[in-house]
Chain A
Amino acid sequence: MVGVRCTNLVKRYGDVVAVDGLSLSVPRGECFGLLGPNGAGKTTTIEILEGLLEPDAGDVEILGLTWKGHERELRQRLGVQLQETQLADKLTVEETLRLFRSFYHRGRTIDELLRIVELETKRRSWVGKLSGGQKQRLAVACALAGDPDLLFMDEPTTGLDPQSRRQLWELLARFRQQGGTILLTTHYMDEAETLCDRVAIVDHGKVIAEGAPRELISSLGAPRVVTHQGTLEDVFVALTGRHLREE
């Protein structure tokens, strides 16, 4: 069963080619990570898959359906978290969830959503008063409102403290255990290694390596430094000669 499939996606912005012939296939039930440095084309790719951007070339299939002709149905079955969305500051957590829940024809109750993202005590707080981690968990709750089959997460833990990140990872792991499919982008190695069954390493709009995190790491051969465990960072460095996040 297809979760997400795309073939030869191309997206240009003027002279810049943001996505350059990218293909992916993610079966249902998998957590798949798009890994790469800033500007690699991860966000453009995920927004094309989310049906928010039109590709210049290539085909997209989500849950076995194309966006053309099935947008209404697909939107009911997807959960989306965007990288830069700021929810309305002066609405409460509960009001925000109520708004998003109203768009779905089936799904979880507000109480369930609050419990899942551990925001029960913040129910009546204004969104503007929440911490970064709480805001991000609320964004995930909005994405879960329609009890989706597939979750798109664009850099879900960027800018969060370690504890908030761990909390969010647990939340996504639980969604997976219940049979959900996740496609996420990240530039954190540990996030990809912890959450993802498979990753695609993306650079300059192309997939330069794809596979299970452990496979990719072991494909490098013996770790060059004995004390060093070997990480996805090493894979990226070996492939490009650059680091994922230029310090």
Chain B
Amino acid sequence: MSEPIDRGGSSHPLIELALARLREFGREPEAVFWTFIFPMLMSVTMALAFPGSGGKPAVVGIEPGAHAAAIRDTLAHAPGVTVRDIPAGDEPRALREGEVHLLIVPTEPPVYRFDPARDESRVARLLVDNALKKAAGRSDPWSAREEPVQIAGSRYVDWLIPGIVGLTIMGTSMWGIGFSIVQSRMRKLLKRLVASPMRKSEYLLAQVGGRMVLLAPEVAVPLLFGVFVLGMPIRGSLVALSVVCLVGALAFGSLGLLLASRARTFEAISGLMNFAMVPMWILSGVFFSSSNFPDAMQPAIQALPLTALNNALRSIVLEGSPLQSVGRELAVLGTWGIGGFALALRIFRWR
């Protein structure tokens, strides 16, 4: 057909399809609320749990006993130690629930009860031991001069925020695309669309493309919160950061398409989404580093799209790496994106 195409005032189908998707999203107040508020709530909660300045005090419990009062008085003046009286018999519970990090049985000499596997318990033991021995007359050969510094970018929250950005990109891309497709399938709208001359690939591209528009504000919320409220530095370039976010959203958008390609009910798609995402919440270094897992698991963990996205985000935000140094991560994300899209297009159920 050499005739010019007359769309009667409509735009290209890709644009109309993406616009339709965005309009539907924008007219769903709950969807908007959760997309933007959830990452913010998560950041606030984390900021509360891990304050930026000063360590948390070591909480030390004292059982009743002959020397309890003396020990309590001594520790009351020790820096970084909070003392709590623990009634006899309550000690296992207090230790188990983390109410106290260390328990002192006030005998002569005292007994320390603590779990050496817990960092905060080992810190509490050092602080208590030091304070009690000093009070008992130990003299130190010398005291080092301490210079407390706080390096922005090296705190836990700084490490955490890029992980939350990654998590947000994964969650909103996959849920946003998966649910709307299943809904259209349930309403037989997909079937109606394929009865028209619409190209199937354009429909799928528009679903992923429509998400790109929402990406900027979705990513900006946790990032701006991190920068302005928590004082996280962004050391890399914003262009590199944008590219990584974009490639990440494409990868997860394609995965969303793939998971939604055959599901007929909300129950089915919810199950599939959780099946795909929950392991990544744990394995991909959102809340704690994925290097905690055994070496044997590392190749698999590094191949996960969220691991690649989080590593690339941290590398750019915290280390100021240029784009070329996250090439491997971008390649992992690109593979998931292209592979997921191609497979989704093949197996997609339009009825």
Contact = CB atoms under 8 A, between A and B. Distances in A.
A163 to B, nearest CB: 25
Nearest to B23: A91
B324 interface: no
Contact of A99 (B1, B9, B20, B188): B20
Interface in B1-26: 1, 3, 5-13, 15-17, 19-20, 23-24
Interface string A83-100: 011111011000100111
A85 B187 contact: yes
Contact of A102 (B7, B23, B189): B7
| Category for how many chain A residues contact B | 20 to 34
A106 to B, nearest CB: 5
A101 B195 contact: no
A74 B187 CA distance: 24
Most buried by B among A101, A103, A106, A145: A103
The 3 A-B pairs with the shortest beta carbon distances in the complex, nearest first, are A102-B10, A75-B197, A86-B187
Contacts of A72: 197
B146 interface: no
Given A102-B16, A107-B8, 10 more contacts: A50-B195, A82-B192, A88-B20, A91-B20, A99-B19, A100-B196, A101-B8, A102-B17, A104-B197, A106-B6
B196 to A, nearest CB: 5
Contacts of A108: 8
Contact of A103 (B20, B28, B184, B197): B197
Contacts of B3: 105-106
A82 B13 CA distance: 21
A87 B28 CA distance: 16
Contacts, number: 100
Contacts of B6: 105-107
A51 B350 CA distance: 13
Interface of B: 1, 3, 5-13, 15-17, 19-20, 23-24, 27-28, 184, 187-189, 191-192, 194-198, 351
A117 to B, nearest CB: 15
B28 A146 contact: no
A87 B16 CA distance: 15
B24 A90 contact: yes
Contacts of B184: 88
Contacts of B11: 98, 102
Given A84-B188, A85-B192, A90-B27, A105 B13 contact: no
Contacts of B23: 90-91, 95
A158 to B, nearest CB: 14
A109 B5 contact: no
A76 interface: yes
A110 interface: yes
Interface of A: 50-52, 72, 75-76, 78, 80, 82, 84-88, 90-91, 95, 98-110, 126, 142, 145-146
Nearest to B26: A90
Interface core residue of B17, B24, B192 (most chain A CB under 10 Å): B192
The SS class assigned to the A binding surface is: loop
23 contacts: A75-B196, A78-B195, A80-B192, A84-B188, A86-B188, A88-B184, A90-B23, A95-B23, A98-B9, A99-B19, A99-B20, A100-B196, A102-B7, A103-B198, A104-B196, A105-B6, A106-B5, A107-B8, A108-B8, A110-B10, A142-B196, A145-B8, A146-B196
A110 B195 CA distance: 20
B53 to A, nearest CB: 46
Contacts of A145: 8
B180 to A, nearest CB: 9
A149 to B, nearest CB: 14
Contacts of B197: 72, 75-76, 103-105, 146
A58 to B, nearest CB: 20
A72 to B, nearest CB: 7
A52 B1 contact: no
Contacts of A80: 192, 195-196
A82 B195 contact: yes
A88 B27 CA distance: 12
Contact of A110 (B8, B17, B28, B188): B8
Contacts of A52: 191, 194-195, 351
A72 B197 CA distance: 6
B200 to A, nearest CB: 11
A84 B188 CA distance: 7
A85 B189 contact: yes
Contacts of A82: 188, 191-192, 195
B189 A91 contact: no
Nearest to A83: B188
A95 B26 CA distance: 14
A87 B189 CA distance: 6
A11 to B, nearest CB: 14
B185 to A, nearest CB: 11
Contacts of A84: 188
